[in-house]
Amino acid sequence: MMTVSLRDFFIRPVGTVIFAALILALLFVVRNNEARALFAERFGERRTDD
């Protein structure tokens, strides 16, 4: 029973942290125009918004 509790205890926080990190990364990319441009360039999608 202890192993199951430990697994739950570790998997839940790790998943939450990863989820939060992904959201923060998305926000960072959306907020930074430079990062956005680099991101678009990497995918071969050049956007020229003036």
pLDDT of residue 46 exceeding 80: no
Pair of tokens at residue 20: 């939060």
> What's the pLDDT tens digit per position in 21-34?
999 888 887 777 77
Buried b (16+ CB within 10 A) or exposed e, 14-30: eeeeeeeeeeeeeeeee
Q: Helices marked H in the chain — which ranges?
A: 2-31, 33-42
pTM, entire model? 0.42
